[in-house]
């Protein structure tokens, strides 16, 4: 779990003497009805002070988050965001936190959707302030914030305080009147405000002319005025001093800091410079850095003197310098005491180490150039960083280290491998594994680690070093699996088993699972199921029930591929009972079970229950973490839309699924692009469908493999759709030839799910050629295989052509009860489709002529010649007829026309 520094969540304490700015407060009040308030101006314009004064007035609960560079890590940003929200709404986002800490967190938009839905039902309105957003320089965080703003529910108003505009669609927000903005021109002190500042806050008595001169020279820049006021303390020739400075803010700042610092006692000046290295200040920490004993008193005195010190908590334990002041002090420190900088950082690092703040200790070790100690601390932090999924922070730390230093630290190299893999940097991960492997001698059987003799190798975490060979092998196997290198996956997974003792259930479970995934990729389904099930049992024995629950989706997918739908459902139900019996929070992966069960209910043609289970998945995911692979949810939703006849809606959901898909160790046996091609074929958008086939380099003569089986079946569908469109025999012949090869491969490997679909397509291909006897042969086999498992949609989705064939089958009393069920479902589905397509549109006179000729034995070209039209015109008329009648074939069109008395 990411440790939370609570001082980042405190609202800045109001100063006793501030300049009241009612004109700006009114602007902020008025903007509460909009989504976002943006306060964007350079340092020193009083942004934070203004907002803290405003939130004290509005009477709404306010969550405050002071950002720093650490929040460039998306996981850390979201963790702190939720921690801030919990200061006003206890327990909100608990499920999101669980998802962030999981081994495979869902996509950011899925996480934010859950959080936004929780916020939307809150009874009370509140404000969230993100202060210092300009420190964020990470596209994932910007994207997350943009999504949050776009979908922000009414209970929450967001305030962003920044020196530069964030990467948000500000123009669109302005156009929709959803944005309130305060910028430099708004924040500058007016003459009256400048006068109030000098007299009420700084206790100076200045003439109206001097105030006007200062306000004019600084252009209302509050920090400049404050520095001027400090420099004016105890100065006799005020007017002369005011005449001596001019220029832009940078030069004014340099000059005034020089004046202010030179006017301070040496002890104060030294304290300011030495503590400028700190992001946060406390008495004990300042004492450790300066070597003095008066840190707390110094901070209190600086605050009383309005010396750019901001209290971070109500008890005055923690402070920070005004950012611009700290920047200038840092520059001055480097100019005057550069030889002391590393020493100061080392003292800060030691204090943070002693007080248990590893992250801050690492920051100061890196800033002070103490790379050896930084590497030590990072190596010890790696296990916790993995558990809390702070891969981006770990990558930043390690990239700040000299490359040659990591090269000599095998444990650190393997930790780096994890961070790089989590970021999708496979090549870099390979390189880091090679760095680690150079220190390992030959590893055989169950031996542990044999370092190559060298005095240069450095190991800090001895326990992690002991696990190194097995860890390297696990990462090698995982990389190979992601890359589709099945032999590599098998090789390294077996090596893990050789290296680990029997009692290491987690490691051995991971290896067994990887072996199962390799067999799944190869299409050896029974072997895959057994190996993966054994792996999950070991993982569960190690206490990782969540991983075991998540793995159910793979086991069920394998059974579905084998045509064993009932067993897949039983496995889902059993895992769901185990998950729901677990105490809260709900286990990661539970939502995936509902998605899988929805798919099975869709196949059973119970679309209402299928939608209910998808809703349960979404609802559950919003509380505790969305499905392991969120794109599966959208695929399931797309297939329900397709079953309802909403093909455009189906494509929209598939587009979203494709956007969210992330390549992982599970084999991608049903690519989303192939699902889109199937919908295009149904829509007769054949150019797009064949474009997909070309992009995937698919052809009927390809060598067949399980990993591409779904794509090749899709290609057969596309070829069949082209034959129905243009009646060119080559297309149907190619489709049948490919289906025959696919059928043999699927039968030989026991992939009954594919066998059923292939047999159905063979039947449709023969029917399209008006060879009904030939069509009934594969259809009978498909029905015999499908009936015991309760398949429905695989037949019903084929529409009117399948209805015609099922009526033929019914006459032969083959599985009669099952066929009647399918016919009933097909007719009901066809009626829904007709309504969806608006079939009350009448046929034109020419279309009625074409329809009459479709009933004859004339071919398409012969009909075109008879009507004295081009073949393309003939095809257009035919396509229009099919669309208006809600059919896909010539035979079905004639049948529907007869039912409607059009002939």
Higher-pLDDT residue of 328, 374: 374
pLDDT band at 828 (very low <50, low <70, confident <90, very high): low
Strand runs labelled E in 575-702: none
Region 391-409 average pLDDT? 91
792 phi, psi to nearest 5 deg: -135, -55
Residue 724 lies in a domain: no
Residue 604 lies in a domain: no
Residue 535, pLDDT score: 94
Residue 91 lies in a domain: yes
Whether residues 770 and 812 fall in one domain: yes
Query: How far from 420 is each of 395, 432, 479, 681, CA to CA, in Å?
Result: 7, 9, 11, 40
Residue 538, pLDDT score: 92
Region 409-418 average pLDDT? 92
Query: How far from 575 is each of 235, 371, 527, 548, 555, CA to CA, in Å?
Result: 78, 48, 21, 9, 11
**Final residue before a domain boundary, out of 367, 389, 417:** 367
pLDDT in tens, 290-312: 999 989 999 988 877 767 787 88
Best CA proximity match to 874, nearest among 891, 857, 851: 851
Q: Which two tokens stand for residue 831?
A: 């009626």
Residues 515, 518, 523, 529, Cα dihedral to 10°: 30
Q: Would you say how long the chain is, in residues?
A: 903
Region 584-598 average pLDDT? 81
Bridge-based pairing of strands 156-162 and 309-311 is unpaired
Whole-angstrom distance, CA of residue 900 vs CA of residue 335: 93
Q: Evaluate if residue 448 carries a pLDDT over 50.
A: no
pLDDT in tens, 592-640: 899 999 999 999 999 999 999 998 888 776 544 444 467 899 999 999 9
Residue 794 lies in a domain: yes
Whether residues 114 and 253 fall in one domain: no
Q: Evaluate if residue 272 carries a pLDDT over 80.
A: yes
pLDDT in tens, 174-229: 888 899 999 877 888 887 887 888 877 777 778 788 778 777 766 677 777 777 77
Residue 444, pLDDT score: 46
Whether residues 152 and 233 fall in one domain: no
Whether residues 35 and 178 fall in one domain: yes
Q: Evaluate if residue 445 carries a pLDDT over 90.
A: no
Q: What is the DSSP letter of 352?
A: H
**Final residue before a domain boundary, out of 187, 220, 235:** 187
Instruction: Kindly report the three-state secondary structure assignment for every residue of 50-107.
Output: HHHHHHHHHCCCEEEEECCHHHHCHHHHHHHHHHHHHCCCCCCCHHHHHHHHCCCCCC
Q: Which two tokens stand for residue 892?
A: 């079905």
pLDDT band at 848 (very low <50, low <70, confident <90, very high): confident
Mean of the per-residue pLDDT values for the chain?
Answer: 86
Contacts of 811 (CB under 8 A, 6+ apart): none
pLDDT band at 755 (very low <50, low <70, confident <90, very high): very high
Best CA proximity match to 46, nearest among 192, 198, 188: 188
Asked which of 144-158, 175-189, 473-487, 844-858 is least confident by mean pLDDT, the reply is 844-858
Region 14-27 average pLDDT? 81
Residue 454 lies in a domain: no
Residues 400, 405, 411, 414, Cα dihedral to 10°: 60
pLDDT band at 161 (very low <50, low <70, confident <90, very high): very high
Q: List alpha helices for 138-235, DSSP H.
A: 139-150, 170-175, 184-187, 191-196, 208-218, 222-232
Region 654-658 average pLDDT? 92
Higher-pLDDT residue of 149, 859: 149
pLDDT band at 838 (very low <50, low <70, confident <90, very high): very low
Whether residues 114 and 97 fall in one domain: yes
Region 144-171 average pLDDT? 91
Domain with residue 882: its CATH number is 1.10.10.10
Residue 431 lies in a domain: no
Residue 840, pLDDT score: 44
Whether residues 889 and 823 fall in one domain: no
Residue 829, pLDDT score: 64
Q: Write down the number of H helices and E strands in the chain.
A: 48, 7
| Domain housing 37 | 6-187
Whether residues 98 and 218 fall in one domain: no
Residue 430 lies in a domain: no
Whether residues 255 and 276 fall in one domain: no
Whether residues 321 and 363 fall in one domain: yes
Residue 781, pLDDT score: 96
Residue 46 lies in a domain: yes
- The tally of domains found in the chain comes to 5
Angle at alpha carbon of residue 484, lines to 483 and 485, rounded to 5° = 90
Q: Which two tokens stand for residue 804?
A: 């015609």
Asked which of 180-184, 382-386, 401-405 is least confident by mean pLDDT, the reply is 382-386
Asked which of 106-115, 260-269, 434-443, 498-507 is least confident by mean pLDDT, the reply is 434-443
Residue 622, pLDDT score: 52
Residue 675, pLDDT score: 97
**Final residue before a domain boundary, out of 367, 394, 409:** 367
Whether residues 54 and 139 fall in one domain: yes
Residue 231, pLDDT score: 72
Domain with residue 271: its CATH number is 1.10.10
Q: Evaluate if residue 520 carries a pLDDT over 90.
A: yes
Contact present, 413 and 470 (Cβ < 8 Å): no
pLDDT band at 253 (very low <50, low <70, confident <90, very high): low
Best CA proximity match to 140, nearest among 77, 182, 70, 83: 77
Whether residues 25 and 115 fall in one domain: yes
309: left (phi over 0), alpha (psi -120 to 50) or beta: beta
Whether residues 353 and 232 fall in one domain: no
Residue 59, pLDDT score: 85
Asked which of 138-142, 861-865, 866-870 is least confident by mean pLDDT, the reply is 866-870
Domain with residue 21: its CATH number is 3.40.50.300
């Amino acid at each position: 779990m990411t440790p939370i520094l609570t001082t980042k969540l405190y609202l800045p304490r109001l100063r006793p003497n501030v300049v009241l700015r009612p004109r700006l407060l009114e602007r902020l009040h008025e903007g509460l009805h909009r989504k976002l308030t943006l306060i964007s101006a350079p340092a020193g314009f009083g942004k934070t002070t203004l907002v803290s004064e405003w939130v004290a007035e509005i009477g709404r609960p306010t969550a405050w988050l002071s950002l720093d560079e650490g929040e460039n890590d998306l996981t850390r940003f979201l963790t702190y965001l939720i921690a801030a929200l919990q200061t006003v709404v206890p327990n909100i986002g608990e499920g999101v936190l669980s998802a962030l800490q999981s081994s495979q967190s869902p996509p950011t938009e899925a996480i934010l959707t859950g959080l936004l839905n929780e916020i939307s039902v809150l009874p009370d309105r509140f404000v969230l302030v993100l202060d210092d957003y300009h420190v964020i320089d990470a596209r994932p965080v910007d994207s997350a914030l943009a999504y949050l703003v776009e979908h922000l529910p009414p209970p929450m108003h967001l305030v962003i305080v920044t020196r530069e505009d964030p990467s948000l669609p500000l123009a669109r927000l302005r156009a929709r009147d959803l944005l309130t903005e305060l910028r430099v021109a708004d924040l500058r002190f007016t003459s009256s405000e400048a006068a109030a500042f000098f007299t009420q806050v700084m206790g100076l008595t200045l003439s109206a002319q001097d105030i006007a001169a200062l306000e004019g020279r600084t252009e209302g820049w509050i920090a400049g005025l404050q520095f001027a006021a400090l420099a004016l303390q105890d100065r006799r020739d005020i007017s002369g001093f005011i005449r001596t400075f001019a220029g832009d803010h940078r030069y004014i700042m340099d000059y005034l800091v020089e004046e202010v610092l030179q006017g301070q006692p040496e002890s104060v000046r030294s304290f300011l410079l030495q503590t400028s290295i700190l992001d946060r200040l406390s008495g004990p920490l300042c004492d450790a850095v300066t070597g003095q004993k008066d840190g707390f008193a110094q901070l209190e005195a600086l605050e009383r003197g309005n010396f750019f010190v901001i209290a971070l908590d109500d008890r005055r334990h923690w402070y920070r310098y005004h950012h611009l002041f700290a920047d200038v002090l840092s520059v001055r420190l480097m100019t005057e005491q550069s030889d002391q900088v590393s020493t100061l950082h080392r003292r800060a690092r030691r204090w943070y180490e002693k007080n248990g703040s590893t992250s801050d200790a690492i920051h100061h070790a890196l800033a002070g150039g103490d790379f050896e100690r930084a590497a030590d601390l990072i190596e010890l932090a790696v296990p916790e960083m993995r558990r809390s999924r702070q891969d981006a922070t770990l990558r930043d730390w390690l990239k700040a280290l000299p490359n040659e230093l990591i090269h000599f630290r095998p444990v650190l190299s393997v930790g780096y491998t994890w961070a790089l893999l989590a970021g999708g940097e496979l090549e870099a991960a390979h390189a880091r594994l090679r760095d680690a492997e150079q220190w390992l001698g030959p590893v055989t059987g169950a031996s542990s680690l044999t370092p190559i003799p060298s005095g240069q190798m450095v190991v800090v975490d001895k326990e992690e070093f002991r696990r190194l060979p097995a860890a390297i092998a696990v990462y090698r196997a995982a990389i190979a699996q992601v890359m589709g290198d099945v032999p590599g996956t098998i090789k390294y997974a077996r090596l893990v088993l050789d290296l680990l003792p029997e009692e290491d259930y987690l490691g051995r479970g991971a290896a067994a699972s990887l072996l199962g995934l390799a067999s799944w990729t190869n299409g050896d389904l029974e072997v895959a199921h057994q190996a993966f099930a054994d792996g999950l049992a070991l993982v569960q024995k190690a206490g990782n029930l969540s991983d075991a629950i998540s793995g159910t989706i793979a086991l069920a997918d394998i059974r579905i591929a084998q045509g064993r739908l009932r067993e897949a459902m039983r496995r889902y139900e059993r895992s769901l009972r185990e998950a729901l019996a677990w105490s809260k929070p709900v286990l990661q992966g539970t939502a995936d079970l509902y998605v899988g069960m929805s798919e099975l209910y869709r196949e059973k043609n119970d679309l209402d229950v299928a939608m209910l289970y998808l809703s349960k998945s979404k609802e559950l995911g919003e509380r505790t973490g969305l499905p392991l692979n969120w794109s599966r949810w959208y695929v399931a939703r797309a297939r329900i839309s397709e079953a309802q006849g909403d093909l455009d809606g189906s494509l929209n959901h598939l587009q979203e699924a494709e956007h969210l898909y992330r390549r992982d160790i599970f084999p991608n046996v049903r690519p989303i692009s192939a699902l889109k091609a199937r919908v295009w074929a149904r829509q007769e958008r054949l150019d797009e469908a064949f474009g997909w086939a070309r992009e995937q380099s698919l052809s009927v003569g390809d060598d067949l493999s399980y990993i591409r089986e779904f794509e090749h079946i899709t290609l057969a569908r596309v070829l069949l759709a082209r034959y129905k469109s243009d009646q060119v025999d080559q297309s149907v012949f190619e489709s049948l030839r490919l289906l025959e090869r696919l059928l043999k491969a699927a039968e030989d490997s026991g992939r009954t799910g594919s066998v059923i679909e292939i047999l159905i397509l063979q039947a449709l291909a023969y029917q399209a050629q008006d060879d009904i006897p030939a069509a009934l042969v594969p259809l009978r086999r498909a029905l015999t295989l499908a009936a015991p498992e309760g398949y429905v949609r695989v037949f019903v989705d084929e529409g009117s052509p399948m209805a015609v064939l099922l009526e033929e089958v019914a006459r032969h009393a083959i599985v009669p009860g099952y066929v009647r069920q399918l016919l009933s479902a097909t007719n009901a589905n066809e009626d829904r489709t007709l309504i969806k397509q608006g079939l009350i549109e009448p046929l034109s006179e020419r279309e009625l002529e074409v329809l009459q000729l479709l009933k004859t034995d004339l071919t398409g070209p012969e009909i075109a010649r008879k009507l004295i039209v081009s073949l393309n015109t003939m095809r257009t008329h035919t396509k229009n007829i099919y669309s208006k009648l809600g059919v896909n074939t010539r035979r079905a069109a004639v049948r529907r026309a007869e039912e409607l008395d059009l002939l």
